[in-house]
Amino acid sequence: GWELHNVTNDLHANGVSGVMTDYEAKFHAQGVSINRLVAVKTEQTKTTASGQVSRLRDAALSDARGKAED
């Protein structure tokens, strides 16, 4: 498994801190909340071989609203 830390559904709820990526700046300017988390491998994950995740096999990049980028 993975341990999840610093999970948020609105990264800049308390104001912008640090340097924003281009995508963060784009979505922040549009008023779109930015999700963020830190995933840390557990010992079980570090010792388990893994292959391609089937539900992500055909995944595509999309914007925060779920629409394909132009």
Residues 29-53: tens digit of each pLDDT: 999 999 999 999 888 777 766 665 6
pLDDT category, 60, cuts 50, 70, 90?
low
- pLDDT at position 48, please? 67
Rounded-to-integer distance, Cα 16 and Cα 33, Å: 12
- pLDDT, mean over the chain: 79
Mean pLDDT value of segment 47-69 = 60
- pLDDT at position 45, please? 75
Backbone angles phi, psi at 68, to 5 degrees: -65, 140
In order of 9, 24, 38, the CA distances from 68 in angstroms are 21, 17, 25
- pLDDT at position 33, please? 92
